[in-house]
Structure 1
């Protein structure tokens, strides 16, 4: 991956994370994805669920591949307008309340307008509440402090805020001089940026891949079923490109491509993961094999849905998943090189 392609990928990533897209609220970002594909001249379609399926024609159309990454993110929904005029939340996606304490947020109203706010503990002032430090961070105790002069249900409702409104979190994207990228929603917009850049590059080159390859940008992964439909019957290999999980006991880091051998759904296809290893060894791509203990992907969702496919999972290493996330440009670069080598290689199965 040359410097120009890396720079383009990072710009795509920045534009992706700065567009709010909690699961169930992805129309705008899907329109952005379509605009990128149109500019690149890539053929695509839109599913009834709102996903985008791009297609790169290959030499072999009998045995096809599908790659997927998801553009939906964690978020929340207004559960209740409290008597104080503040908002109680219901979470979208699997994350802990403590990971959003103190975060700036936006309430997306049904009329298309927005209102800003901050997610705080009800007992936030240590000068007033004895249990400010020890109270549990949960739905009962955490609330949105709306940036408006509201002190009742009626005053908040007069702003146009209602139960069911989507709440998105400030991504706070930063790229450091040392090569780190810090932001919410790197899961999985980092992988979406990689796949968009890959399609742009292949289209610009005029390359014909050995197998027709579909790229599914799904929009419901965080709630468990983003990539289990719209899989053409010719697809034999199905690769989820999603974040690599970092933590105690993990090999995955922020500087290499992560190859998942097993997650909570069970093992990934042994032959396919060995193919990834061989591609890394042959092309001097830094990689780590790993098990993600509390994880499921669009590929595993497709398997559970009954599709007769060979499935795999790779991605950049992301520190602090489902919280304030971070990766390094070298992880993006190595993951990109692995994806690129894979789509240009022969079929495993």
Structure 2
């Protein structure tokens, strides 16, 4: 949970993951595992298996999050932004943010609609929350475009949302970006257990920490020795889905189609055997890093599991039980 808090409070919108990958590398080094960085910035940690020649299992979770970039600077110095990832604009209205300049400076700002006050605009409540009607107010003395430029702010600068992270004593965790940093923490929990207990997985395991999942191509390339891949990503909650925030969610099918029958069945059997609260669900508006790997041409079997997360791509919430039990299910799978 302490490492999860570090992950959540490290800005990492897709394409701006250098700081969080440094954090991930430092943590893997503490556990005694080397990490390889791929050309596009993904991290791969290889865990030797006790049995060789049966193919490698890949576990992938993504460190990248939703965010934005500066699209243009308006004449009054406010910023028009373009989204990174798929979210509804009303979920970021009123949010605090950081603008990351290309020369390393950071400025605070606030996301607002272009009609932010009911005392001024008669249609403020009905004003459509869409990209063209949203802007960022910079918390500096800025009244013109030139003022913003003088701060070093420019088109293409990254913008990260304040995660508003809270880890409560009763186990509840609420924060932006639990998709998918809760799953990253679960993978580190599994690695920590293996190191502490002096165990090896049955087959070699490659853990992939991807940096472009929110824009669709996080693990589109994976090492050729991987035969089975489990995407570890947040479980959706709501509508006719049965998972809760305390469950491990096992996805049988998402928008890209059904996941591997044998792998999904095995995960369900292991969750039952280990007594882990879980749910099997269908995600109609969802894709994963396993989907990206399959679309990228990987000849693999694939499955999808993760902790249940409420209000995904908004103000998210999960429970420590779901994170810990996701790690437990993954360990049960790779130790078989």
TM superposition score category, shorter chain reference: over 0.9
- List gaps (5 residues or longer) in structure 1: 1-9
SS in 1 for 2:293: helix
TM-align CA RMSD? 0.9
- 1:230 Cα offset (Å): 3.0
In the TM superposition, 1:274-289 aligns within 5 A as: 274-289=265-280
Aligned partners of 1:60 and 1:68: how far apart in 2?
21
Give yes or no for the alignment of 1:26 onto 2:27: no
The equivalent of 1:208 in structure 2 is 200
| Partner of residue 29 from structure 2, selected from 38, 46, 50 | 38
Cα deviation 1:80-125 (Å, max 9, x = unaligned): 1001110000000011111100000000011101010000111011
**Which range is displaced more, 59-68 or 17-26?**
59-68
Task: Select which of 72, 77, 84 maps to 2:64.
Answer: 72
Which consecutive residues of structure 2, in runs of 5 or more, have no partner in the other structure? none
1:192 aligns with 2:184: yes
In the alignment, which of 168, 193, 218 is matched to residue 210 of structure 2?
A: 218
Normalising to structure 1: TM-score of the pair?
A: 0.94
Alignment match, 2:112: 120
- Note the 1:126-205 alignment, pairs <5 A: 126-205=118-197
Aligned residues: 335
Of 27, 49, 56, the residue aligned with 1:58 is 49
Worse-superposed segment, 174-183 or 209-218:
174-183
SS at match of 1:53: strand
- Alignment-derived partner of residue 319 in structure 1: 310
Asked if structure 1 preserves the Cα contact closer than 8 Å seen for 2:190 and 2:328, the reply is no
Calculate the TM-score normalised by the size of structure 2.
0.98
Conserved in 1, the CA contact under 8 Å of 2:183 and 2:232? yes
Question: SS of the residue aligned with 1:160?
Answer: coil
1:227 is aligned, of 219, 225, 232, to: 219
Runs of 4+ in 1 over 3 A off after TM superposition: none
Is 1:336–2:313 an aligned residue pair? no
8 Å Cα contact 1:43-1:56 kept in structure 2: no
Say yes or no: does 1:100 pair with 2:82.
no
